[in-house]
């Protein structure tokens, strides 16, 4: 029954009730066992004390009879001694049926012992219902004037045993004591089970809540494992939200970066129809080729990111050459020249990196574009060494709108951070004195595979 109760599928809310039922059943069985054991022990002790008193009185009774004492012989307050069955009161019944050496309590003449009393619930019976009195009997033999006589030592049970009222008081006390323990442990088990289940209930409610951007929590007194679970859920929620934002930013970037070269190609193709001069045609073809080249780089970078997400990319460390950085900077010179900004490359030492040329173009182009947008004039310095790449400008410095707006041109800092994490790079953007800011890409030392 209990196995069926606990194997049945149910919610955590019903677990305290199930635990209470389970432990209540166990407590009842233990309580009944203790109740029977205690009463049996008390009955056994009572009978053993009385039997030992009878057996200890036997030598004294035999000595008195051999000295000429008459029947019945009273020993102490409760023991009577006989050696002739004719002198035994009829109320005690026929005691000759018990063998020599018998020592015990006589109940219902023919049944004796503590077990019979407990099974027959003698403790709750009325003594007046029996015409024969219950007694403790010790029977033995001794020699008197050359003959073997039978010795009967009798102790009426009513004189030495606890009365029915006393036994009933003991019963009520034992039952009250066991019941109090049952209620106390039941309350403790219920409180403990509620304390264990409460964090689960709260987490379930929070998971079902329609509220967005919520933080999971459990009571402070909850077990350490529940706090760890809550921390993991909050981390998972934050990572999930970040992934959603990154996917949205990638979608906006792809839409913008692919739409721009398509617009340039379409516009250049239409302009070719309006002017047939060789110089004009060559200029438009150059625009088309640059736009197609930029689109190809964008597509390659996006495919590289997808491969990285699926775990199919296995890029070995490669040496970054200055020519590759110059190729990345070249398309940005037009926008920089328009604002009277010069782009200066300081190639100190060639580092070992893992990002593909397309991904590196995405990173540097975005950061340099941000530096151009934040500057009105001056110089932007791109410094490359074995440990990092620095892009330093003399512009307006950090601005919450310019650095944190996910709808701004290019990847945005969210995507830059994501790409750096893929390759274990560190990205930082800080103000410098007297004005301007520095974007830094710090990467670990990579070694080419042998």
What pLDDT sits at residue 347? 93
- What is the percent of the chain where pLDDT is above 90? 8
**In the predicted structure, residue 125 carries a pLDDT above the cut 50:** no
pLDDT band at 412 (very low <50, low <70, confident <90, very high): low
Q: Are residue 297 and residue 364 in the same domain, yes or no?
A: no
Quick check: pTM over 0.75?
A: no
Residue 419: Cβ within 10 Å count: 24
Q: Are residue 267 and residue 363 in the same domain, yes or no?
A: no
Q: Are residue 224 and residue 174 in the same domain, yes or no?
A: no
How far is the C-alpha of 410 from the C-alpha of 413, rounded, in Å? Answer: 9
Q: Are residue 395 and residue 438 in the same domain, yes or no?
A: yes
17 in a structural domain:
yes
How far is the C-alpha of 389 from the C-alpha of 355, rounded, in Å? Answer: 14
pLDDT band at 53 (very low <50, low <70, confident <90, very high): confident
- Phi/psi at 430 (5° precision): -135, 155
What pLDDT sits at residue 345? 92
SS (H, E, C) the chain: CHHHHHHCCCCHHHHHHHHHHHHHHHHHHHHHHHHHHHHHHHHHHHHHHHHHHHHHHHHHHHHHHHCCCCCCEEECCCEEEECCHHHCCHHHCCCCCCCCCCEEEEECCCEECHHHHHHCCHHHCCHHHCCCCCEEEEEEEEEECCEEEEEEEEEEHHHHCCCHHHHHHHHHHHHHHHHHHHHHHHHHHHHHHHHHHHHHHHHHHHHHCCCCCCCCCCCCCCCHHHHHHHHHHHHHHHHHHHHHHHHHHHHHHHHHHHHHHHHHHHHHHHHHCCCCCHHHHHHHHHHHHHHHHHHHHHHHHHHHHHHHHHCCCCCCCEECCHHHHHHHHHHHHHHHHHCCEEEEEEECCCCEECCCHHHHHHHHHHHHHHHHHCCCCEEEEEEECCCEEEEEECCCCCCHHHHHCCCCCCCHHHHHHHHHHHCCCEEEEEECCCCCEEEEEECCCCCCCC
397 in a structural domain:
yes
CA atoms in the 13 A half-sphere facing the CB of 121 = 5
Q: For 237-256, write each residue's pLDDT tens digit.
A: 888 877 777 677 667 767 77
Out of 140, 161, 181, a domain closes at 181
343 in a structural domain:
yes
**Mean per-residue pLDDT, 61-71:** 88
- What is the percent of the chain where pLDDT is above 70? 80
Higher-scoring residue by pLDDT: 341, 414? 341
Least confident of 53-57, 148-152, 412-416: 412-416
194 in a structural domain:
no
Q: Are residue 335 and residue 411 in the same domain, yes or no?
A: yes
Residues of the domain holding 389: 318-442
Angle between helices 278-310 and 357-373 (to 10 degrees): 110
Out of 253, 282, 314, a domain closes at 314
As for how many domains the chain has, the answer is 3
418 in a structural domain:
yes
Out of 271, 297, 314, a domain closes at 314
Q: Are residue 153 and residue 24 in the same domain, yes or no?
A: yes
What pLDDT sits at residue 277? 86
346 in a structural domain:
yes
What pLDDT sits at residue 129? 43
Whether 382 and 389 have beta carbons less than 8 Å apart is answered as yes
**In the predicted structure, residue 348 carries a pLDDT above the cut 90:** yes
Highest mean pLDDT (candidates 11-20, 193-202, 272-281): 272-281
**In the predicted structure, residue 42 carries a pLDDT above the cut 80:** yes
CATH of residue 337's domain is 3.30.565.10
How far is the C-alpha of 431 from the C-alpha of 371, rounded, in Å? Answer: 12
Whether 216 and 230 have beta carbons less than 8 Å apart is answered as yes
**In the predicted structure, residue 372 carries a pLDDT above the cut 70:** yes
Whether 370 and 414 have beta carbons less than 8 Å apart is answered as no
Mean pLDDT of the chain: 77
How far is the C-alpha of 297 from the C-alpha of 294, rounded, in Å? Answer: 5
144 in a structural domain:
yes
Whether 83 and 150 have beta carbons less than 8 Å apart is answered as yes
CATH of residue 241's domain is 1.10.287.130
């Amino acid at each position: 029954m209990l196995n069926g109760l606990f194997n049945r599928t149910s919610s955590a809310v019903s677990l305290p009730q199930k635990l209470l039922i389970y432990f209540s059943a166990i407590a009842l069985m233990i309580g009944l066992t203790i109740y029977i054991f205690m009463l049996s022990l008390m009955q056994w002790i009572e009978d053993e004390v009385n039997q030992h008193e009878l057996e200890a009185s036997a030598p004294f009774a035999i000595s008195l009879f051999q000295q000429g004492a008459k029947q019945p012989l009273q020993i102490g307050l409760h023991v009577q001694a006989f050696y002739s069955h004719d002198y035994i009161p009829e109320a005690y019944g026929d005691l000759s049926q018990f063998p020599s050496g018998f020592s015990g309590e006589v109940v219902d003449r023919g049944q004796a012992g503590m077990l019979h009393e407990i099974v027959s619930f003698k403790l709750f019976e009325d003594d007046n219902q029996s015409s024969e009195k219950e007694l403790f009997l010790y029977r033995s033999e001794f020699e008197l004037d050359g003959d073997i006589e039978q010795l009967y030592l009798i102790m009426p049970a009513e004189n030495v045993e606890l009365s029915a009222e006393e036994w009933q008081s003991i019963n009520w006390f034992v039952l009250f004591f066991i019941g109090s323990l049952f209620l106390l442990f039941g309350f403790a088990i219920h409180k403990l089970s509620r304390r264990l289940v409460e964090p689960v209930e709260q987490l379930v409610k929070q998971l079902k809540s329609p509220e967005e951007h919520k933080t999971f929590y459990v009571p402070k007194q909850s077990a350490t494992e529940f706090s760890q679970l809550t921390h993991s859920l909050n981390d998972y929620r934050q990572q999930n939200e970040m992934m959603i934002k990154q996917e949205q930013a990638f979608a906006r970037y792809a839409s913008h970066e692919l739409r721009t070269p398509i617009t340039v190609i379409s516009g250049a193709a239409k302009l070719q129809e309006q002017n047939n001069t060789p110089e004009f045609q060559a200029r438009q073809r150059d625009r088309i080729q640059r736009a197609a080249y930029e689109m190809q780089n964008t597509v390659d970078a996006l495919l590289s990111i997808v491969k990285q997400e699926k775990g199919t990319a296995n890029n070995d460390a490669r040496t970054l050459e200055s020519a590759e950085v110059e190729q990345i900077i070249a398309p940005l010179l037009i926008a920089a020249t328009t604002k009277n900004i010069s782009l200066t490359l300081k190639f100190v030492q060639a580092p070992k990196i893992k990002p593909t040329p397309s991904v590196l173009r995405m990173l540097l182009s975005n950061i340099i574009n941000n530096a151009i947008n934040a500057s009105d004039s001056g110089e932007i310095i791109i410094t490359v060494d074995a440990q990092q790449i620095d892009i330093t400008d003399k512009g307006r410095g950090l601005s919450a709108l310019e650095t944190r707006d996910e709808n701004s041109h290019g990847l945005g800092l969210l995507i830059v951070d994501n790409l750096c994490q893929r390759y274990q790079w560190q990205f930082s953007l800080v103000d410098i004195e007297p004005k301007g800011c520095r974007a830094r890409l710090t990467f670990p030392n990579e070694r080419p595979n042998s």
